[in-house]
Amino acid sequence: MPVAIGRNGITVAKREGDGATPIGTLPIRRVLYRADRIEPPQTRLPVEEILPEHGWCDEPENPFYNRPVDLPFPAHHERLWRDDHVYDLIAVLGWNDAPVVPGRGSAIFLHVARPDFAGTEGCIALAMDDLRGVLADAGPGDTLTISARF
């Protein structure tokens, strides 16, 4: 299936803001979705609705770095409630979360691709139907592997 990766490719040395997708085997933690736009996904993973006040801290010096936050939030963050559709369905991937290392990258998601499959900020993106298919097969303990081999 077609996939979009970071606009700067993939890397073994992921850093905040580098525009690259990290190489590795990442646990699929949970699923977030916009209930005002789509039906809940079929999956065995934990599922939560995205609300207008949901964000994700991407400020390395902040104690909430690479964690979900409620908005307004004083440090730099990403809004999960977006005007476009790329975050209508998100699988949160376990990158730099156990433990969190400041600056090693944040908000690495599996999400909906733009229509032209443009590069992401470091996430992996699929067409909505493909993403729904992946999540339908996913359950607790499942992982996603990003490698340099094609």
Residues 41-66: pLDDT tens digits? Answer: 999 999 999 999 999 999 999 999 99
d(CA 54, CA 9): 28
**21: part of which helix (H) or strand (E)?**
strand 21-22
User: Using 50, 70 and 90 to split pLDDT, how confident is the model at 70?
Assistant: very high
For residue 104, the model assigns a pLDDT of 98
Tokens of 148: 């340099």
- 85 flagged as catalytic: no
For residue 21, the model assigns a pLDDT of 98
- 76 flagged as catalytic: no
Question: What number is the average pLDDT over the span 99-120?
Answer: 98
Spot the catalytic one: 54, 57, 77, 111.
Answer: 111
Instruction: Report the chain's mean pLDDT, rounded to a whole number.
Output: 97
pTM of the model: 0.96
Q: Judge whether residue 106 has pLDDT over 80.
A: yes
Spot the catalytic one: 54, 57, 77, 123.
Answer: 123
Q: Judge whether residue 150 has pLDDT over 80.
A: no
CA distances from 134 to 45, 75, 125, 144 (A): 11, 33, 12, 10
Question: What number is the average pLDDT over the span 67-90?
Answer: 98
φ, ψ of residue 81 in degrees (nearest 5): -90, 95
